[in-house]
Structure 1
Amino acid sequence: MEETRRDGRRANQIRPLAAEQGILNRADGSARFVQGNTSVLAAVYGPAPAKSLRMERSEGATLDVSFKPESGITSSADAESEALLRRSLEEVVLRSRYPRTVVSVIIQVIVDDGAVLSAALNAATMALLNAGVEMTGMALSVTCCITATVSGRSVLLDPCKAEEIDAAATAVVATLSAGGGVLSCHAVGSMSQEEYFACCEAASLGTTAVRSFVRLSAEQKVNREAETVR
Structure 2
Amino acid sequence: MEIDRDDGRSPSQLRPLSCSHNVLHRAHGSASWSQGKLEREYEMILKRTLQSICILTLNPNTTTSIIVQFVNDDGALLVCAINAACAALVDARIPMKHLAVAICCCLADVGYVILDPTKLEEQKMKGFAYLVFPNSVLSVILEGSSLVEGESTEHGIITSVTHGVMPVEEYLKCVERGRAASAKLSDFLRKSLQSQLSSDSSKAA
CA distance in 2, matches of 1:228, 1:86: 32
Residues 135-214 of structure 1 aligned to structure 2 (within 5 Å): 135-148=96-109, 152-178=110-136, 179=153, 180-214=155-189
Question: Counterpart amino acid of 1:81?
Answer: Y
Deviation at 1:225, TM superposition (A): 3.4
Please name the residue that 2:18 is paired with: 18
CA distance in 1, matches of 2:51, 2:203: 34
Residues 61-140 of structure 1 aligned to structure 2 (within 5 Å): 69=37, 78-140=39-101
Deviation at 1:157, TM superposition (A): 0.6
Please name the residue that 2:198 is paired with: 223
Deviation at 1:226, TM superposition (A): 4.2
Please name the residue that 2:150 is paired with: none
CA distance in 2, matches of 1:102, 1:116: 25
Residues 29-44 of structure 1 aligned to structure 2 (within 5 Å): 29-35=29-35, 38=36
Question: Counterpart amino acid of 2:120?
Answer: A
CA distance in 2, matches of 1:166, 1:217: 33
Please name the residue that 1:44 is paired with: none
Deviation at 1:3, TM superposition (A): 2.8
Q: Structure 1 or 2: larger strand share?
A: 1
CA contact (8 A) 1:175 1:207 kept: yes
Q: Could you say what secondary structure the match of 1:174 adopts?
A: strand
Question: Counterpart amino acid of 1:105?
Answer: I
CA distance in 1, matches of 2:200, 2:62: 29
TM-score (norm 1): 0.77
CA distance in 1, matches of 2:85, 2:204: 27
CA contact (8 A) 1:171 1:185 kept: yes
Q: Where does the alignment leave 5 or more consecutive residues of structure 1 unmatched?
A: 39-68
Question: Counterpart amino acid of 2:104?
Answer: T
CA distance in 1, matches of 2:49, 2:61: 20
CA contact (8 A) 1:182 1:204 kept: no
Question: Counterpart amino acid of 1:102?
Answer: T
Q: Where does the alignment leave 5 or more consecutive residues of structure 2 unmatched?
A: 137-152
Percent of aligned pairs with the same residue? 33
Deviation at 1:223, TM superposition (A): 2.8
Please name the residue that 2:8 is paired with: 8
